[in-house]
Structure 1
């Protein structure tokens, strides 16, 4: 049997799950809930909780830079 990259038996490293933090208010969650959103700014992924996303929906849809909202 041949092991594929990423198989648990192949000796590859598996990343420990890290909690995600809202870039706006600092709320945390073990896994990003489906209601959270994220953006990539300056090459960094930033998660935004559902409450902050709702409060800033128009700015997000208008693709305004997060510094503006």
Structure 2
């Protein structure tokens, strides 16, 4: 149990776009209605429309490759 924990990436959200449809929020910050997930060590943001479309897969913690 002497594993080192990895520090998360910086919380900056410059140039945020939806990982599925490519929509941008119109500002540098992700809106509060967007979802942020970490896959393979990198942050992925989903717009509210794409999140609604895939909510069951997200809540079931399926890898986005399965969607």
Shorter-chain TM range is 0.7 to 0.9
Query: Residues of 2 paired with 1:38 and 1:18: CA distance?
Result: 14
Q: TM-score when scaled to structure 2?
A: 0.74
Match of 1:43 in 2: 41
Q: TM-score when scaled to structure 1?
A: 0.72
Aligned length: 54
- Structure number with greater Rg is 1
SS of residue matched to 1:45? strand
What does residue range 42-61 of structure 1 map to in structure 2 within 5 Å?
Answer: 42-61=40-59
Match of 1:22 in 2: 18
The structure richer in strand per residue is 1
Q: Which runs of 5+ in 2 are unaligned?
A: 1-11
SS of residue matched to 2:19? coil
CA RMSD of aligned residues (A): 1.5
SS of residue matched to 1:18? coil
- Rate the CA distance shift 1:17–1:47 in 2: closer, same or farther, 3 A: closer
Runs of 4 or more consecutive aligned structure 1 residues displaced over 4 Å after TM superposition: none
